[in-house]
Structure 1
Amino acid sequence: MNMMEPLHSSMNHPTVELKSLQLCDREGTESADSGIGDVDDLPVPQQIQISNITCDSFKISWDMDSRGRERITHYFIDLNKKENKKENKFKHKDVPTKLVAKAVPLPMTVRGHWFLSPRTEYTVAVQTAAKQPDGDYSVSQWSEIIEFCTADYSTAHLNQLLQKAEAIAGRMLPFTVFYRNQQREYFQQASPSYRSRDAQCRRMLPAVKDNSGSHGSPISSKLEGIFFSCNTEFNTGKPPQDSPYGPYRFQIQADLLFNHNTNIYFGDFYCMYTSYHYVILVLAPDGSKGDVFCKGRLPALDRSNNCFLTCTEEDDGSLSFCHAQDVILEVIYTEPVDLILGTVSQISGHQLMSLSTLNAKKDPSCKICNISVGR
């Protein structure tokens, strides 16, 4: 079995960050499986506790009897995604999930973006082991199985995404309106099938964001808002006539949603196995429910000086707006919007459903929009 020393192996360290924990390779797994057929009377881990959970790490500790503790040389940690929950044993043909570490003081940190993903449910079980002179192992019985869920991206991770997005945003182009496409029924008086409308059908209401984009984005399935677009065609300077979301378009003057009273936040950067890259921005009126949600969770942007969406005041007091040319912006406005503030009309283009981002999955292999933590 391929064993790797932890980053710190001194017993004087109460917490050990196991950056060099690794999955057992298949060849080593098979030989190890044949060498640990007998369960020894080593102490069984009990009362497992998971703490300090991030998007790609967690701390683990447990209690165990003192009898036989001095014989323990290693810990075996079986980590599985909850949806793939299986018996705790070494795998032969499947990709193994066994993590191996030398016995170190508890709690210890399990870290690794190559096997831990953000916002994912896992099961974990532990057994203690004693390495024999011939290289085989005697092991304890398995502990109970504990379930836990990894966390969202932290603001530090989102800042990494932000920097990657800034690198490809391109030059800024002027625009004057935000727009939102939907089916005709969405804008009609009787539209009970749309929960993002009020009973009188006079307002668009915030709805919970879906799971599109980066798996670790803290806004997915949590932030409430209304999606708008603002990208323009390069040759006309106007919104495109095609849309994946419906042939009817609501347009509203940009300054009604984005002004000196609006805070802007970076929410996500992703692609869907295509050359297009999407940036999600959040527009939240200062002090609003959405603003409170975003503060401390998302990187705040300077409304007049950022790479994606700007609002600047001209000499005459009017506001002018620009958007990034080389990314597709998805703008979430966190408050209700009255239909009377804008206009609804039919577009002349097509519904390009292939461009829909509804629950779209991020390409985990893209080097442009991924960072060095779980996808």
Structure 2
Amino acid sequence: REAPPPGHPTSCHVEMLEQRPQLFMAEMESLSTPYNIRISDVTCDSFRIGWDMAPEDVGRVTHYFIDLSRKEGRDPNRFKHRDVPTKLVAKAGALPMAVRGHWFLSPRTEYCVAVQTAVRQPEGADYLVSEWSPVVEFHTGDYGTVHLQQLLQKAEGAAGRLLRFSVFYRNQHPEYFHYIRSSCAGVMYPSLKDSSGSHGSPINGTLSGVFLSCNTEFDTGLPPRDSPYGPLRFQIPASQLLNPSTACLLLHRRLLLHPSTGDRFCRAHLPQLDLAANPFLTYNPPQREGEEPVYCHARDVILEVFYIEPLHLDQGTLVEISGHQLMSLSTANAKKDPSCKVCNISVGR
């Protein structure tokens, strides 16, 4: 048998040349679409995500693309074009994988998420990517214990010096107090906390109570003359709500014998304050016989007490404020400014 001419490929070379296009075509075959997306272990700033894909893709996928967006104000099915980089890129690894980061996750927020798998091509070539998976929705959680402790430390740093006060108070419109007398037998019953204030607060939409204020004007020691909430003010002596010599004994017995839902919730979810070293609201017992106790509040924060028990109007007095009703200063349904460095921690945006 004659030897092949110089430069002519041997049969082995021919076989390899014939296989190269097949290998190249196999590499360029499209990836299967991820399916059965699973979200677990959701917190206020993290979650775990897993999914299934075709067995033949498991060994060759090099990267995961994750498109994450808030559900509000958008079509959850409008994701980026497959050739446009996604928001989150991760090297392929074991599933489920953890996704965490306060710069793109906020507490108590609904999100939409979809994933792509990808194979990184040789230098200069684009990624080979799958189609987007079906969209899955999930809801981030409340602030955890660590986050609440950070918020407490922020508030302690801004509290300022203490000022004396003598009454807790609540401003409302005449219609409100008329309703309380005519329809509620004069009792202000606890109502569910709205979503104002810290977005991730665990009491929002969960704990019921009656809001009371205790801030005073620094020059008079009395409640402010003006109010954004209404011209009528319910006032109750501080000694009726904050008197450790009597109230704490009754409270201790009630917590042991008949703890309310609110009691159990607060113990489980909120940081407990040391009554002897509270930087926001203090009680100093009388120093001599015949003296009155001294109550103080933090000067540089707007302090609101969320009282979780019913209050009867007969426990206090109803007076008309001497100033103006400043509606522009109302904090009703107000949201905390997410860019504020004084009262925000590094969770959420």
Structure 2 length normalisation: TM-score? 0.83
Contact 2:46 2:105 in 1 (8 A): yes
Deviation at 1:304, TM superposition (A): 3.1
Specify which of 66, 88, 91 is matched with residue 99 of structure 1: 88
Distance 1:288 1:104 in 2: 47
Q: Residue type of the partner of 1:206?
A: P
Specify which of 117, 122, 141 is matched with residue 131 of structure 2: 141
Helix, strand or coil at the partner of 1:299: coil
2:147 is the counterpart of 1:157: yes
Distance 2:57 2:82 in 1: 27
Alignment of 1:43-192 (within 5 A): 43-83=32-72, 84=74, 85-90=76-81, 98-133=87-122, 134-188=124-178, 191=179
Deviation at 1:106, TM superposition (A): 1.1
Q: What is the percent sequence identity of the aligned residues?
A: 60
**Structure 1 counterpart of 2:323:** 349
**Structure 2 counterpart of 1:298:** 270
Taking a change above 3 Å as real, the CA distance of residues 302 and 129 of structure 1, as seen in their structure-2 partners, is same
Deviation at 1:373, TM superposition (A): 0.9
Distance 2:325 2:142 in 1: 33
Structure 1 or 2: more helix by fraction: 2
Distance 1:114 1:42 in 2: 31
Helix, strand or coil at the partner of 1:235: coil
2:230 is the counterpart of 1:240: no
**Structure 1 counterpart of 2:282:** 310
Helix, strand or coil at the partner of 1:340: helix
Structure 1 length normalisation: TM-score? 0.77
Distance 2:82 2:339 in 1: 26
CA deviations over 1:50-71 (Å, ceiling 9, x no partner): 1111111101111222112211
Deviation at 1:313, TM superposition (A): 2.7
Alignment of 1:193-342 (within 5 A): 199-260=183-244, 261=247, 286=255, 287-315=259-287, 316=289, 319-342=293-316
Contact 1:46 1:144 in 2 (8 A): yes
Deviation at 1:351, TM superposition (A): 0.9
CA deviations over 1:267-286 (Å, ceiling 9, x no partner): xxxxxxxxxxxxxxxxxx84
Distance 2:318 2:82 in 1: 58
Distance 2:135 2:198 in 1: 29
Helix, strand or coil at the partner of 2:328: helix
Distance 2:53 2:284 in 1: 63
In structure 1, stretches of 5+ residues that fail to align are 1-38, 264-284
Contact 1:42 1:69 in 2 (8 A): no
Helix, strand or coil at the partner of 2:55: coil
Q: Residue type of the partner of 1:349?
A: G
Distance 2:150 2:248 in 1: 24
Structure 1 or 2: more strand by fraction: 1
Q: Residue type of the partner of 1:242?
A: D
CA deviations over 1:95-140 (Å, ceiling 9, x no partner): x862111101111110111111110000111111101113311111
Q: Residue type of the partner of 2:319?
A: S
Taking a change above 3 Å as real, the CA distance of residues 257 and 107 of structure 1, as seen in their structure-2 partners, is same
Q: Residue type of the partner of 2:30?
A: D
In structure 2, stretches of 5+ residues that fail to align are 1-27
Distance 1:135 1:107 in 2: 29
Taking a change above 3 Å as real, the CA distance of residues 198 and 167 of structure 1, as seen in their structure-2 partners, is farther
Q: Residue type of the partner of 2:326?
A: L
Q: Residue type of the partner of 1:314?
A: P
- How many pairs does the alignment contain? 308
Deviation at 1:155, TM superposition (A): 1.6
Q: Residue type of the partner of 2:79?
A: N
Distance 1:155 1:293 in 2: 13
Helix, strand or coil at the partner of 2:175: helix
Distance 1:91 1:209 in 2: 43
Distance 2:276 2:105 in 1: 38
Deviates more, 1:139-148 or 1:84-93: 84-93
**Structure 1 counterpart of 2:5:** none
Contact 2:69 2:113 in 1 (8 A): yes
Deviation at 1:151, TM superposition (A): 0.5
**Structure 2 counterpart of 1:27:** none
CA deviations over 1:277-318 (Å, ceiling 9, x no partner): xxxxxxxx8433322111121111122321101123334596
Taking a change above 3 Å as real, the CA distance of residues 369 and 200 of structure 1, as seen in their structure-2 partners, is closer
CA RMSD of aligned residues (A): 2.3
Deviation at 1:90, TM superposition (A): 4.1
Q: Residue type of the partner of 2:278?
A: N
Contact 1:41 1:68 in 2 (8 A): no
CA deviations over 1:122-169 (Å, ceiling 9, x no partner): 011111110111331111122111110001111210111111111111
